[in-house]
């Protein structure tokens, strides 16, 4: 579904906003000038420092011994960095490797609101904006606040809000006979994915975490209190998926059938409706008894595949069907949540189902095991919501068909998903996606990696191993290393402190540093130019808005202001860079300006010569014959009148 909003901003409001933007544009344009100037100085000083460093750098044979005569000198050395520090993740304390760095990445499965704007200028200067909001579920790095979403029904929750991204860095690392500083340790790269094991999962998260690949998926709490909008334990979505579909996925408009199997009459009432606890068996599937546990006031058993399944008064839902159960141990006296006076909802095609209450909300349990919310409209009527479809029911204290009605439900029940009501992969409120069965030997929990639910959390870790080959260019200072401060005044006190992962020669390290300096210089040049260009566009924006009284005129003015901004920003940026070069490298700057001036002189001279040659050619060329003019009509008639006079 998509939500569309249409807004119109008046011409006066747009003009006022563009005028306010003039000051911001001016500040942006001016700020670009010192940025460009500083960048050229930074580039020159860095280059000079690297040039000086390369000329004085001394090669050490290895890092295994410390040569005191090299103390205070800029050296290049290769070796292996080793740490014994154990980095322990506070959320998963069992995950505690020896490593240079341990990084925890956390992602949240959330509804995300996407916004797309289409603007149209109107005659008179106003502007209409059509904003379309669409919604999608995806993994994001931070929880999304859904309270401001334009459309309801996309509520976000987080099943593990305490999970945040974190990086741990070793405090100590040996480098042969030397020790590395924490800054140097942090610059060692080479992160590798941490292979997760079931034993890493803390006790408090067991039953919630599913390990898949190098990710730990954390699902909803088992037996914990759910927050509004979260799926309630004990409310199962047990619809049998069609071929090729994932569990819980019901495409809009599709009708999915759920097969049920009636419970033999002799087993009805085998588990008292007012008790909970003890053990049950399912003779046709699992002859061994299974413990009944309390999950938010609903009796559950854990089936052999690890799936939590609700115990119903006369049967247990299992593998898409209702099966008979037998109570082998009496219940513990737990009172099933129910109104003081039992009421029954008479549902067409389903029979009479007892209403009961969980957290002050009324439900009926369908033969599928799912809870259908009941909305009371009058004292004797209301409706239940089945997969987003309202079904009108009547309510009374007397069942119109045998109760409990689980046994009287149709063998095949329709589950209709209305467009816009049930979206692909969604689980209806009050219906819990079952825990996932994963490959043998891995941890399983309430999260399903193949079909994540809003609120799931995905965590992964990377680490830099405890032993890594490292190359260093720095000043030997006792048993460690420090940055080299350039002595050349042109370098302006810039330093050389290089570290690269792997075995690199001195020449490679200095060349890489020079390449990085060049790339940074060009990036900042482009940024400075863009600041100036965008600033000028904002300064000239009121002209475009003034012309928008006729949209086509405003568009033409906008193109013109863009050209003007380019023609001003480009030479100003070039002049700023040239002046910076004159300041930081006067000789080279003068040569560059002289070369530029000579080029401009040659261009002017060439153009003047071309004009002179053209004029000379026009002068020497023979004049073209001028065609005789035809006599005017009056001049033609005069001789005709005089002819008779001369004859006389």
Report the interhelical angle of 586-620 vs 551-584 (nearest 10°). Answer: 130
pLDDT at 366: 63
pLDDT at 223: 42
Burial of 641 (0-12, 13-18, 19+ CB in 10 A): exposed
State the pLDDT confidence band at 282, using cuts at 50, 70 and 90.
Answer: low
- Highest-scoring range by mean pLDDT, 222-236, 399-413, 471-485: 471-485
pLDDT at 152: 82
Residue 233 clears pLDDT 60, i.e. is over it: no
Any idea which of 198-202, 265-269, 548-552 has the lowest mean pLDDT? 265-269
Domain boundaries in the chain? 10-76+485-571, 84-219+451-465, 255-416
Any idea which of 292-296, 474-478, 513-517, 604-608 has the lowest mean pLDDT? 292-296
User: Which residues lie closer than 8 Å to 276 by C-beta, 6 or more apart?
Assistant: 292, 294, 299, 311, 331, 332, 334, 336
338-349 pLDDT, tens per residue?
A: 333 556 777 776
State the pLDDT confidence band at 326, using cuts at 50, 70 and 90.
Answer: low
Q: Which residue has the higher pLDDT, 88 or 285?
A: 88
State the pLDDT confidence band at 332, using cuts at 50, 70 and 90.
Answer: very low
Q: What is the mean pLDDT of residues 477-492?
A: 89
578-629 pLDDT, tens per residue?
A: 888 888 877 766 766 676 566 667 767 777 777 777 777 777 766 556 555 5
Q: What is the mean pLDDT of residues 448-455?
A: 88
Burial of 555 (0-12, 13-18, 19+ CB in 10 A): middle
360-391 pLDDT, tens per residue?
A: 567 776 655 566 777 777 777 888 877 667 78
pLDDT at 35: 96
- Percentage of residues of the chain with pLDDT beyond 70: 64
pLDDT at 485: 94
Q: Which residue has the higher pLDDT, 226 or 168?
A: 168
pLDDT at 169: 96
409-426 pLDDT, tens per residue?
A: 332 333 333 333 333 333
Cα angle value 513/519/522 (rounded, 5°): 140
pLDDT at 640: 45
Average predicted confidence (pLDDT) for the chain? 75
What are the φ and ψ backbone dihedral angles of 420, each rounded to 5 degrees? 85, -15
**CA-to-CA distance for 620 and 85, rounded, in angstroms?**
93
The b/e string for 596-625 (b: 16+ C-beta within 10 A; e otherwise) is eeeeeeeeeeeeeeeeeeeeeeeeeeeeee
Q: What is the mean pLDDT of residues 295-314?
A: 59
Any idea which of 4-13, 43-52, 378-387 has the lowest mean pLDDT? 378-387
Residue reference for tokens 């003009």: 15
User: Which residues lie closer than 8 Å to 638 by C-beta, 6 or more apart?
Assistant: none
The encoded tokens of residue 51 equal 């040039």
Q: Which residue has the higher pLDDT, 17 or 263?
A: 17
**CA-to-CA distance for 100 and 185, rounded, in angstroms?**
7
pLDDT at 357: 56
State the pLDDT confidence band at 354, using cuts at 50, 70 and 90.
Answer: low
Any idea which of 41-50, 247-256, 348-357, 569-578 has the lowest mean pLDDT? 247-256
Q: Which residue has the higher pLDDT, 390 or 430?
A: 390
Q: Which residue has the higher pLDDT, 598 or 533?
A: 533
pLDDT at 273: 39
pLDDT at 287: 62
Any idea which of 43-57, 96-110, 292-306, 576-590 has the lowest mean pLDDT? 292-306
Residue 67 burial (CB count, 10 A): 13
pLDDT at 155: 87
Q: Which residue has the higher pLDDT, 467 or 363?
A: 467
Report the interhelical angle of 11-56 vs 506-547 (nearest 10°). Answer: 170
Q: What is the mean pLDDT of residues 229-233?
A: 33
Any idea which of 86-95, 155-164, 427-436, 554-563 has the lowest mean pLDDT? 427-436
Question: How far are the Cα atoms of 579, 587, 593, 601 from residue 597, in angstroms, in the given order?
Answer: 14, 15, 6, 6
* Model pTM above 0.85: no
pLDDT at 364: 73
Any idea which of 114-123, 134-143, 395-404 has the lowest mean pLDDT? 395-404
pLDDT at 305: 64
Residue 255 clears pLDDT 60, i.e. is over it: no
Long-range contacts of 385-393 (CB under 8 A, 24+ apart): 385/428, 386/415, 386/416, 387/250, 387/415, 387/416, 387/417, 387/421, 387/422, 387/428, 388/417, 388/418, 388/421, 388/422, 388/428, 389/416, 389/418, 389/421, 391/347, 391/348, 393/345, 393/346, 393/347, 393/348
């Amino acid at each position: 579904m998509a939500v569309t909003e249409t807004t119109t901003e008046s011409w006066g409001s747009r003009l006022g906003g563009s005028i306010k933007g003039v000051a911001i544009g001016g500040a942006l344009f001016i700020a670009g000038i010192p940025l460009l100037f500083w960048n050229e100085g930074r580039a020159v000083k860095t280059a000079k420092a690297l040039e000086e460093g390369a000329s004085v750098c001394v090669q050490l044979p290895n890092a295994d011994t410390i040569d005191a005569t090299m103390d205070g000198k800029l050296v290049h050395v290769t070796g292996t960095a080793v740490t014994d520090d154990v980095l322990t993740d506070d959320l998963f304390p069992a995950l505690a490797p020896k490593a240079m760095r341990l990084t925890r990445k956390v992602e949240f499965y959330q509804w995300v609101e996407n916004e797309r704007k289409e603007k149209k200028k109107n005659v008179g200067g106003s502007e209409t904006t059509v904003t379309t909001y669409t919604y999608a579920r995806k993994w994001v790095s931070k929880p999304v606040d859904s309270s401001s979403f334009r459309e309801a029904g996309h509520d976000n929750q987080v099943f593990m809000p305490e999970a945040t991204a974190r990086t741990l860095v070793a405090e100590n690392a040996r480098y042969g006979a030397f020790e590395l500083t924490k800054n140097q340790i942090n610059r060692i790269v080479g992160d590798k994915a941490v292979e997760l094991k079931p034993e890493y999962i803390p006790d408090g998260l067991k039953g919630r975490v599913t390990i898949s690949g190098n990710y730990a998926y954390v699902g909803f709490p088992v037996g914990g209190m759910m927050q509004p909008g979260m799926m309630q334990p004990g409310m199962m979505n047990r619809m049998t998926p069609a071929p090729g579909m994932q569990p819980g996925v019901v495409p809009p408009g599709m009708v999915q059938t759920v097969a049920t199997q009636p419970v033999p009459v002799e087993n009805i009432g085998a588990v008292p409706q007012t008790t909970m606890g003890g053990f049950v068996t399912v003779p046709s599937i699992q002859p061994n008894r299974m413990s009944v546990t309390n999950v938010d006031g609903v009796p559950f058993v854990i089936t052999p595949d690890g799936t939590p399944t609700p115990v119903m008064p006369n049967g247990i839902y299992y593998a898409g069907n209702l099966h008979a159960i037998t109570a082998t141990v009496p219940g513990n006296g737990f009172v099933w949540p129910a109104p003081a006076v039992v009421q029954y909802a008479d549902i067409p095609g389903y029979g009479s189902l007892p209403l009961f209450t969980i957290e002050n909300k009324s439900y009926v349990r369908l033969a599928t095991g799912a809870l259908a919310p009941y909305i009371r409209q009058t004292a004797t009527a209301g409706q239940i919501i089945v997969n987003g479809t309202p079904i009108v029911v009547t309510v009374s204290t007397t069942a119109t068909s045998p109760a409990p009605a689980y046994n009287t439900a149709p063998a095949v029940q329709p589950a209709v998903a209305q467009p816009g009501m049930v979206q692909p992969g969604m689980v209806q409120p009050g219906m819990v996606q079952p825990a996932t069965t994963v490959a043998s030997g891995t941890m399983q929990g309430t999260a399903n990696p193949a079909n994540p639910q809003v609120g799931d959390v995905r965590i992964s870790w990377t680490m830099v191993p405890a032993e890594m080959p490292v190359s260093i260019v720095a000043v030997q200072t006792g048993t460690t290393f420090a940055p080299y401060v350039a002595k050349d005044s042109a370098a302006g006190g810039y330093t050389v402190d290089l570290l690269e992962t792997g075995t690199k020669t001195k020449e490679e390290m200095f060349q890489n540093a020079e390449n990085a300096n060049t790339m940074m210089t060009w990036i900042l040049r482009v940024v400075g130019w863009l600041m100036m260009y965008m600033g000028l566009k904002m300064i000239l924006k009121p002209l475009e808005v003034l012309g928008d009284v006729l949209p086509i005129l405003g568009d033409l003015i906008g193109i013109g202001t863009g050209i003007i901004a380019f023609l001003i920003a480009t030479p100003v940026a070039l002049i700023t860079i040239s002046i910076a070069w004159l300041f930081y490298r006067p000789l080279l700057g003068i040569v560059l300006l002289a070369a530029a001036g000579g080029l401009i002189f040659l261009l002017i001279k060439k153009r003047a010569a071309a004009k002179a040659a053209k004029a000379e050619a026009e002068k020497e060329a023979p004049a073209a014959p001028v065609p005789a003019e035809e006599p005017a009509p009056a001049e033609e008639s005069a001789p005709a009148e005089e002819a008779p006079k001369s004859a006389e």
